[in-house]
Amino acid sequence: MDKLEIKNLNRNFKFGKQKVLKNINVSFLSNKIYGLFGENGAGKSTLMSIIADYNFPTSGEVLLDGENVHDNDNALSKIYYMNQNNMYPKNEKIKKIFKLTKAIYKDYDSQLQEKLVNEFKLNIKLRFDKLSTGYKSIVKIIIALCVPCKFVILDEPTLGLDARNRDIFYRELIESYSANPRTFIISTHIIEEIDKLVSDVVMIDNGKIVLNDTADNIRSKAYSVNGPIDLVSDYTKDLSVIGKEELGQYVTIDVMGSLPNKEVPSGVKITKIELQKLIVNLMNKDGANDN
């Protein structure tokens, strides 16, 4: 089975003074949909560009099926990075870009491309840099869904997309994933759109991985404990707290981990937290809480 492993990855800037990625260790397995979350500047784009060999790490390695990805045609042909940079020549027509991509990738899915062009109502005679942000994303999305790569990395795929096109994108993503299983790593700020879609969650905070687990596991381990302040605080005192909200005499404390063996005091209610709220809580926390 294909596996994309990131081992002990570090990336420093300014001669080591600025550490953007700190000892990242994470694996991406085949045929799963990963959500890569984190604040702006947390290091998501840096990580993705290093995986795709766009940039080099300061130390550490990226392995695909055990082979180092760096300068490796075989490994790189299995990875596609849909990114926010201008990768195409100026004034290039969309039609030409598609044609070139098709020539480069032997098993490019032209049928799907045609279907998507129609669904998104894309005019391929236009020039790429004359498009709106949304339509530039659409062109990139189409290519990303049609390339025959086992690992497709999507950096903010819905940037600039209106509601209708976002809906089309997710539907087509699911359809393509079902018909042709491969790994998608989606990085987005709009967590609620994909929180049911992802099977696994990886979260980066301040250059470190703070969460790396399946969505099901996380949902089963995250709880919201609500009730009078003293009772709740006592109940949660040994637990990993990720959020706290006070309202008069009452408090809601969000925790992660298994619930303690003690009996739930009367007046205290425990519910599950939604994935999105959980991630927002983690992002708001000061300092990483090692779990």
Q: Is residue 245 involved in binding other proteins (CB under 8 A)?
A: no
Contact at 8 Å (CB) between 148 and 105?
yes
Phi, psi of 248 (to 5 degrees): 65, -125
Which tokens in the block code for residue 288? 């990483």
Q: Rounded to the nearest whole angstrom, what is the least distance from the CB of residue 62 to other proteins in the complex?
A: 13
Q: Rounded to the nearest whole angstrom, what is the least distance from the CB of residue 33 to other proteins in the complex?
A: 6
Site string for other proteins, 149-188 (x = CB under 8 A): x--------------------xx--xx-xxx---------
According to DSSP, the residues that pair with 270 across neighbouring strands are 225
Please say which residue, 45 or 236, places its beta carbon nearer to other proteins: 45
d(CA 235, CA 107): 57
d(CA 187, CA 171): 17
* Pairing relationship of beta strands 33-38 and 200-205 according to DSSP bridges: parallel
SS3 291: coil
Q: Rounded to the nearest whole angstrom, what is the least distance from the CB of residue 123 to other proteins in the complex?
A: 22
Please say which residue, 93 or 288, places its beta carbon nearer to other proteins: 93
According to DSSP, the residues that pair with 202 across neighbouring strands are 36, 212
Residue tagged 């995986």 (tokens): 51
Q: Rounded to the nearest whole angstrom, what is the least distance from the CB of residue 266 to other proteins in the complex?
A: 11
Of the ranges 205-213, 214-222, 244-252, 280-288, which one interacts with other proteins (CB under 8 A)?
214-222
Contact at 8 Å (CB) between 35 and 191?
yes
d(CA 212, CA 63): 18
Q: Is residue 76 involved in binding other proteins (CB under 8 A)?
A: yes
Site string for other proteins, 122-151 (x = CB under 8 A): ---------------------------x--
SS3 169: helix
Q: Please report, as residue ranges, which positions from 14 to 73 form the binding site for other proteins (by CB under 8 A).
A: 32-33, 45, 49, 52-56, 71-73
Give the up-direction half-sphere exposure of residue 169: CA atoms within 13 A in the CB hemisphere.
26
Q: Rounded to the nearest whole angstrom, what is the least distance from the CB of residue 287 to other proteins in the complex?
A: 27
Please say which residue, 219 or 288, places its beta carbon nearer to other proteins: 219
Residues in touch with other proteins (CB under 8 A) = 32-33, 45, 49, 52-56, 71-74, 76-81, 85-89, 100-101, 103-106, 149, 170-171, 174-175, 177-179, 193-194, 196-199, 215-216, 219-220, 271-272, 274
